[in-house]
C-alpha cells in the first residue's frame, strides 16, 4: 500500500429523436441506437434480431461529417427559457374529471374510467416528480380496438412542448382481462406539420404489457423545433380486440441541473473517503508541524476506457487523447470470431496481437470483446452452414484457440454477446450451450471476469431488453453453473434520462455483480446537447455504487460506429462533448494542499484511487505513495518520515 519516500526535486504531474416523417397517422420505426425497434405489435419472441455495428471488419461505418469547430463548454445549452420543469403537461392525468381531455383512437374504440382494486395498485415507481407520489388507482380502459393504431389520445396545446428540452414519459400500462401473453404498447408524440397534411411521430416509450399486471412506462423524447400547431400524445399497440389500460400518464420536462446536484452529493458518498495522514514517530510531530504538504491523485479506482482498432492507433490526435484520458481499452472488431477466422480453419490473430502490443506499451488493460455473438446476422456464413455436431466442435475450437493463446491477457471477456436479442447458438445447440461457453471460458482462463453484454437495457424503451429480463437471464445462467462475473450495459444511447438509467442500475445491482458500461456512445447532432447527454450518462454511472467502469465506443470523428457521437473532431480539435468529458474527469480527481497541524496530521477527503504526497521541510522535499480504497470510516495512514 505505502511506497517509499523519495527525497529531493519538485514532483510534477440531438434533429428529432431519430424520427422519420410520415403523413397523417402512419408511424415511423425508430432507429434506437442504430437498430430497428419494433413499434408495431408482435409477440416479444417474434421481434427479429437487430443489426449491430458491421458484419465484416473493419467496422468504422460512421459517416464522415465536416469537423465541428471547438467551443467553450457550457452547462446550459438546452433551451430552458419558459420551461416549467417537472410539471405534467397531460391534463386530467389521474382522471379526477372523468374522461375530460381524452379521446379515442379508432372508430370502434370505446373509453371508460375504471378503478383498480386497492391491492393491485402499483406501489413502486421511479417517478419522483411529486414527493410521496403513488399511482391513483384510476385508469382508462380502451376497449373495442380494431387494430394496432387504435387506443387513446390527448391534444397538447401549441407552445407547451419546448425544443431541445428532454421530456420524460411516465405512467402505468396494462392489458384487459383475458389478453394472452405480452404485447407491446407504445406512447407516441404526434407533432402536426404545416397544413396538418403531414405529421412527425416521435416515440415516447414502449413496454411489454400483460393482463393482470401493471408495467411502468419509462419513456423519453426531445423535439428539435417547437410544434407550430400543437401536438398530441397517443397510446397505441397490442393486437385488435385486446383492451389497453392506462393509469396516470404523465409527460414532463426533466430538470437536469437539479438532477446533477443530487448526483454530486451521491457521488461524494459513493466515491470519496475521509483520509488522515499521520506524521507521527519520535519527535516527528514537532519536526513537521506547519510543514507544507501537497496531495496529488495519480489514478482512480473507477475505470474509463475506449475502443480502438488498427486504424485509430495510427492517428496521433487519437493516440494523444486516448493515452491522456483513458485507462482501459477494448478492440472494436478484431477479437470477434468473424475477424479472427473469416474462413474456416484460417486463423488470423495479427490485428489483436498488434493492438495488445499497443496497449501494453501504454499500460492499458483490455476487455475481451467478444468470444461469441448470439445474433444470427453476426455469425459468419461458414459457421451457420455447419451441421450441429461440427458446430459444437467449432465452438470448442474457438474457445480453445482464443483462450489458450491469450490466457491471462484480458481481465474481462464478453462471452456471448447480446443474448437478449439473439439465440443462434441456443437454437442450434440447445439451452445449455450458453452456460457451457461460460464454464469452458473459466476453465481455460480462470483469471478473467466473464460478462454478459447487451444493449438498450439502460434506456427503458426496449421491451426485449428490460432490466428484469436481463436479471432473469443472468440467474438462469448461474443456475446452470455459469460463473457470470459481471454485467455489461453497452450504452448506445440517444437523449438519455438519468432517472431511467439509475432505475436500471438499481435493479441490476440486486445481482451483486459489478456493472460496466461497455460501449458508450451518445448520439446527438448538436454537439452542445451531446455534451449534456454525455454528462447525464457519466454522472449516473459514476454516482452508482454498482458501476465499476465506463468504456466509450470510440470518440474520434470518422472513426466511430455511430455518427454524431464524437468527442474529438476529425482535425484533432476537442469539441464540447470531449471537453465535458475532460472536465468531469478533472472534477472526479482529488488534489489537496495545506500544512501539517500541531498534532502531526493532515486531513482531506479524496476520491478512491492512488496518490502521491509531497512534503516540504527545511531539509528538502520528500514524496510517498499511498492508496485510498472504499470504506465508510476515515482512512488513517501512518506516514513514516
Q: Tens of pLDDT along 587-622?
A: 999 999 999 998 889 999 999 999 999 998 777 788
Q: Please name the residues in contact with 362: beta carbons below 8 A apart, sequence gap of 6 or more.
A: 322, 323
**Cα gap 515→537, rounded to integer Å:** 14
Are residues 307 and 332 in contact, defined by beta-carbon separation less than 8 angstroms?
Answer: yes
Q: What are phi and psi of 105, to 5 degrees?
A: -110, 125
Q: Please report the pLDDT score of residue 622 as a whole number.
A: 86
Average of per-residue pLDDT across 537-557: 98
CA atoms within 13 A on the CB side of 264: 8
Report DSSP state, residue 162. P
Q: Please report the pLDDT score of residue 131 as a whole number.
A: 63
Any bridge partners for residue 220, and if so which? 168
SS3 463: coil
Q: Please name the residues in contact with 61: beta carbons below 8 A apart, sequence gap of 6 or more.
A: 53, 54, 561
The predicted-structure confidence for 288-343, as pLDDT tens digits, reads as follows 788 899 999 999 999 999 999 999 999 999 999 999 999 999 999 999 999 999 99
Residue 173 has pLDDT above 80, yes or no: yes
SS3 436: helix
Cell reading at 538? 457519466
Residue 531 has pLDDT above 80, yes or no: yes
Residue 25 has pLDDT above 50, yes or no: no
Active site residues: 418, 519
User: Per mean pLDDT, which range of 68-72, 193-197, 271-275, 609-613 is the poorest?
Assistant: 68-72
Average of per-residue pLDDT across 374-384: 98
Q: Please report the pLDDT score of residue 366 as a whole number.
A: 98
User: Per mean pLDDT, which range of 42-56, 217-231, 564-578 is the poorest?
Assistant: 42-56
- Radius of gyration over every alpha carbon of the chain, rounded to an integer in angstroms: 27
Are residues 555 and 306 in contact, defined by beta-carbon separation less than 8 angstroms?
Answer: yes
Q: What are phi and psi of 324, to 5 degrees?
A: -80, -35
Average of per-residue pLDDT across 201-215: 93
Q: Please report the pLDDT score of residue 177 as a whole number.
A: 87
Q: Please report the pLDDT score of residue 133 as a whole number.
A: 79
Torsional sign, CA 95, 97, 100, 103: positive
Q: Please report the pLDDT score of residue 7 as a whole number.
A: 34
- Find how far residue 52's CA is from the centre of its chain: 16
Structure pTM? 0.86
From residue 248, give the alpha-carbon distance in Å to each of 118, 203, 213, 477. Answer: 15, 18, 15, 37
Question: Residues of 430-461 as b/e, b for ≥16 C-beta within 10 angstroms?
Answer: eeebbbbbbbbbbeebeebbbbbbbbbbbbbb
Average of per-residue pLDDT across 367-386: 98
Q: Which of the pair, 49 or 197, is modelled with greater confidence?
A: 197
Structural fold of domain 330-526+543-588: TIM Barrel (3.20.20)
Mean pLDDT across the chain = 87
What is the residue extent of each domain of the chain?
87-254, 330-526+543-588
Q: Please name the residues in contact with 246: beta carbons below 8 A apart, sequence gap of 6 or more.
A: 139, 140, 142, 152, 171, 172, 173, 235
Any bridge partners for residue 622, and if so which? 7, 615
Average of per-residue pLDDT across 355-360: 98
Residue 408 has pLDDT above 60, yes or no: yes
**Cα gap 13→498, rounded to integer Å:** 34
Average of per-residue pLDDT across 138-153: 97
Q: Which of the pair, 49 or 270, is modelled with greater confidence?
A: 270
Using pLDDT thresholds of 50, 70 and 90, give the confidence band for residue 80: low
Q: What are phi and psi of 422, to 5 degrees?
A: -150, 150
Q: Which helix (H) or strand (E) holds 625?
A: strand 620-628
Structural fold of domain 87-254: Jelly Rolls (2.60.120)
Q: Please report the pLDDT score of residue 308 as a whole number.
A: 98
Q: Please report the pLDDT score of residue 125 as a whole number.
A: 78
Q: Which of the pair, 71 or 482, is modelled with greater confidence?
A: 482
Q: Please name the residues in contact with 104: beta carbons below 8 A apart, sequence gap of 6 or more.
A: 110, 111, 142, 150, 151, 152, 153
Amino acid at each position: 500500500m505505502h511506497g517509499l519516500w523519495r527525497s529531493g526535486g519538485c514532483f510534477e504531474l440531438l434533429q428529432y429523436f431519430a424520427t422519420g416523417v410520415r403523413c397523417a397517422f402512419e408511424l415511423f420505426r425508430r432507429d434506437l441506437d442504430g437498430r430497428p425497434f419494433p413499434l408495431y405489435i408482435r409477440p416479444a419472441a417474434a421481434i427479429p434480431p437487430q443489426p449491430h455495428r458491421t458484419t465484416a471488419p473493419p467496422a468504422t461505418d460512421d459517416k464522415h461529417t465536416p469537423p465541428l469547430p471547438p467551443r467553450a463548454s457550457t452547462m446550459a445549452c438546452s433551451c430552458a427559457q419558459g420551461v416549467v420543469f417537472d410539471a405534467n403537461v397531460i391534463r386530467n392525468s389521474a382522471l379526477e374529471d372523468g374522461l375530460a381531455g381524452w379521446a379515442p383512437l379508432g372508430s370502434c374504440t370505446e373509453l371508460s374510467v375504471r378503478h383498480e382494486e386497492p391491492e393491485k395498485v402499483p406501489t413502486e415507481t421511479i417517478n419522483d416528480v411529486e414527493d410521496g407520489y403513488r399511482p391513483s388507482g384510476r385508469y382508462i380502459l380502451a376497449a373495442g380496438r380494431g387494430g394496432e393504431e387504435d387506443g387513446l389520445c390527448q391534444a397538447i396545446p401549441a407552445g407547451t412542448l419546448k425544443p431541445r428540452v428532454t421530456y420524460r414519459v411516465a405512467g402505468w400500462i396494462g392489458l384487459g382481462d383475458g389478453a394472452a401473453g405480452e404485447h407491446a404498447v407504445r406512447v407516441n408524440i404526434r407533432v402536426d406539420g404545416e397544413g396538418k397534411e403531414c405529421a412527425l411521430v416521435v416515440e415516447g416509450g414502449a413496454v411489454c404489457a400483460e393482463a393482470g399486471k401493471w408495467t411502468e412506462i419509462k419513456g423519453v423524447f426531445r423535439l428539435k423545433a417547437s410544434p407550430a400547431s400543437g401536438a398530441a400524445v397517443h397510446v397505441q399497440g397490442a393486437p385488435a380486440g385486446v383492451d389497453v389500460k392506462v393509469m396516470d400518464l404523465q409527460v414532463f420536462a426533466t430538470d437536469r441541473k437539479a438532477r446533477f446536484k443530487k448526483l454530486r452529493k451521491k457521488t461524494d458518498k459513493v466515491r470519496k473517503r475521509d483520509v488522515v495522514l499521520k506524521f507521527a514517530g519520535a519527535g516527528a510531530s514537532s519536526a513537521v508541524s506547519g510543514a507544507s504538504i501537497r496531495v496529488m491523485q495519480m489514478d482512480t479506482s473507477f475505470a474509463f476506457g475506449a475502443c480502438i482498432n488498427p486504424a485509430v492507433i495510427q492517428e496521433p490526435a487519437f493516440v494523444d487523447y486516448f493515452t491522456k484520458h483513458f485507462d482501459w481499452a477494448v478492440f472494436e472488431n478484431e477479437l470477434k470470431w468473424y475477424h479472427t477466422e473469416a474462413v474456416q480453419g484460417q486463423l488470423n490473430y495479427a490485428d489483436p496481437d498488434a493492438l495488445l502490443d499497443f496497449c501494453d506499451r501504454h499500460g492499458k488493460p483490455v476487455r475481451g470483446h467478444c468470444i461469441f455473438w448470439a445474433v444470427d446476422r453476426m455469425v459468419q456464413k461458414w459457421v451457420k452452414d455447419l451441421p450441429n455436431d461440427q458446430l459444437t466442435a467449432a465452438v470448442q475450437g474457438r474457445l480453445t484457440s482464443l483462450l489458450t493463446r491469450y490466457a491471462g491477457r484480458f481481465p474481462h471477456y464478453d462471452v456471448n454477446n447480446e443474448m437478449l436479442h439473439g439465440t443462434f447458438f441456443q437454437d442450434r445447440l440447445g439451452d445449455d450451450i450458453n452456460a457451457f461457453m461460460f464454464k469452458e471460458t473459466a476453465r481455460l482462463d480462470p483469471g478473467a471476469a466473464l460478462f454478459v453484454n447487451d444493449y438498450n437495457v439502460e434506456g427503458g424503451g426496449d421491451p426485449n431488453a428490460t432490466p428484469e429480463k436481463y436479471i432473469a437471464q443472468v440467474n438462469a445462467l448461474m443456475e446452470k453453473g455459469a460463473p457470470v462475473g459481471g454485467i455489461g450495459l453497452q450504452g448506445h444511447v440517444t437523449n438519455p434520462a438519468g432517472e431511467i438509467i439509475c432505475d436500471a442500475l438499481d435493479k441490476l445491482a440486486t445481482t451483486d455483480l459489478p456493472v460496466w458500461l461497455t460501449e458508450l456512445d451518445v448520439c446527438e447532432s448538436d454537439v452542445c446537447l451531446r455534451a449534456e447527454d454525455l454528462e447525464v450518462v457519466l454522472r449516473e454511472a459514476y454516482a452508482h455504487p454498482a458501476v465499476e467502469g465506463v468504456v466509450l465506443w470510440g470518440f474520434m470523428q470518422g472513426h466511430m460506429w455511430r455518427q454524431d457521437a464524437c468527442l474529438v473532431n476529425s482535425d484533432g480539435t476537442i469539441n464540447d462533448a470531449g471537453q465535458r468529458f475532460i472536465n468531469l474527469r478533472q472534477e472526479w480527481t482529488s488534489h489537496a494542499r495545506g500544512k501539517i497541524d500541531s498534532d502531526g496530521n493532515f486531513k482531506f477527503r479524496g476520491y478512491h484511487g492512488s496518490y502521491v504526497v509531497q512534503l516540504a521541510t527545511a531539509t528538502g522535499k520528500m514524496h510517498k505513495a499511498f492508496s485510498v480504497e472504499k470504506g465508510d470510516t476515515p482512512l488513517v495512514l501512518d506516514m513514516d518520515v
